[in-house]
């Protein structure tokens, strides 16, 4: 049986890790380089690094910071934020990332997904999607861009299927409604997307306890669970979470 992945997300603003609730009221919580090194030490399977202001400010990825994080971790490392051209993808991978997450730039230019996949391989191209409940959309969820600040006319399910067709190798699916609440993942959204696509889906937004993670990895059909607040707060460690998931019968990689 394939192991379920535990991924820690570092949202970065102005060179510092930040955390908010439903993309609002962000506060500084530390140095992303040191935090990445600590989560690697704890046994996290992957890291995701999002520059949450890059697209809104219309600038590219922060390559120096990416390089410094990559020098401290030796696990898959995905970077998102401000990656809007093939050259940005190339520079980010050369700086040390294994994957790039395309969110707002992919909405504006869907061809970027296919161009990136053709050059660097589907496994390097991740669709980052921020979705929010909206009964006006066919699936019940609308896609947002620019760090969850701007609504689009894209339906979340239709966009996931289109991204897979274009060549995305994975989807990181973030629920704006659940983000930072620590009240549990958006199971209906996660299950809908996971059952519709054949590529891995990473559930994001709402993790508060290992039980929430177990629920989204089983009922939500997710291939991986992304966490932030529950470890940033110091309440849980990655190793402790994995032990609880293992006891719950979830197949995870236990560090030896």
pTM assigned to the model: 0.92
CB atoms within 10 A of CB 57: 10
Q: What is the per-residue pLDDT for 249?
A: 95
Does 156 fall in a domain?
yes
Does 254 fall in a domain?
no
Q: Tell me the residue range of the domain where 99 lies.
A: 5-247
CA–CA dist 67, 213 (Å, integer)? 30
Q: What is the per-residue pLDDT for 16?
A: 72
User: Which is the catalytic residue, given 11, 45, 51, 179?
Assistant: 11
Q: What is the per-residue pLDDT for 153?
A: 97
Q: What is the per-residue pLDDT for 29?
A: 65
Q: What is the per-residue pLDDT for 179?
A: 87
Does 104 fall in a domain?
yes
Q: What is the per-residue pLDDT for 188?
A: 97
Q: What is the per-residue pLDDT for 149?
A: 86
Does 32 fall in a domain?
yes
**Tokens encoding 78:** 């995905």
Does 255 fall in a domain?
no
**Tokens encoding 81:** 């934020």
User: Which is the catalytic residue, given 45, 51, 130, 179?
Assistant: 130
Annotated catalytic residue 88: no
Q: What is the per-residue pLDDT for 2?
A: 83
Is residue 96 within 8 A of residue 66, CB to CB? The reply is yes
- 68, 120, 238, 250 from 210: Cα distances, Å: 30, 34, 10, 11
Q: What is the per-residue pLDDT for 253?
A: 92
**Tokens encoding 45:** 């399977």
pLDDT in tens, 135-194: 999 999 999 998 788 999 999 999 999 999 999 999 999 999 998 888 999 999 999 999
> Residue 55 sits in a domain of what CATH number?
3.20.20.70
- Rounded to whole angstroms, the maximal C-alpha distance in the chain is 49
Does 253 fall in a domain?
no
Does 201 fall in a domain?
yes
Is residue 155 within 8 A of residue 134, CB to CB? The reply is no
The residues of the chain scoring below 70 in pLDDT are 1, 15, 19-29, 52-58, 256
CA–CA dist 171, 113 (Å, integer)? 12
**Number of domains forming the structure of the chain:** 1
Q: Radius of gyration of the chain from Cα atoms? A: 16
Q: Write the CB contacts of 184 (distance below 8 Å, at least 6 apart in sequence).
A: 178, 206, 207, 208, 212, 215, 216
CA–CA dist 108, 225 (Å, integer)? 27
Annotated catalytic residue 130: yes
Q: What is the per-residue pLDDT for 30?
A: 79
Q: What is the per-residue pLDDT for 173?
A: 97
């Amino acid at each position: 049986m394939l192991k379920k992945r535990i991924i820690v997300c570092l949202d970065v603003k102005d060179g510092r890790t930040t955390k908010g609730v439903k993309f609002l009221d962000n506060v500084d919580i530390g140095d992303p380089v040191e935090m990445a090194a600590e989560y690697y030490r704890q046994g996290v399977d992957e890291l995701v690094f999002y520059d949450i202001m890059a697209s809104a400010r219309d600038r590219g990825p922060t390559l120096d910071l990416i390089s410094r994080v990559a020098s401290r971790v030796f696990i898959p490392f995905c970077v998102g934020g401000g990656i809007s051209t093939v050259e940005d993808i190339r520079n980010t991978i050369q700086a040390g990332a294994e994957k790039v997450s395309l969110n707002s730039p992919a909405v504006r230019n869907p061809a970027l997904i296919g161009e990136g996949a053709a050059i660097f391989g589907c496994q390097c191209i991740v669709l980052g999607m921020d979705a929010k409940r909206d009964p006006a959309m066919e699936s019940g969820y609308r896609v947002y861009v620019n760090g969850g600040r701007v609504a689009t006319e894209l339906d979340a399910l239709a966009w996931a299927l289109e991204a897979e067709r274009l060549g995305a190798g994975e989807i990181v699916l973030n629920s704006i409604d659940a983000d930072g609440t620590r009240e549990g993942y958006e199971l209906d959204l996660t299950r809908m997307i996971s059952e519709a696509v054949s590529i891995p889906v990473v559930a994001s937004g709402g993790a508060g306890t290992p039980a929430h993670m177990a629920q989204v990895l089983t009922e939500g059909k997710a291939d991986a669970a992304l966490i932030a607040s529950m470890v940033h707060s110091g309440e849980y460690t990655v190793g402790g979470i994995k032990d609880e998931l293992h006891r719950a019968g979830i197949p995870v990689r236990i560090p030896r």
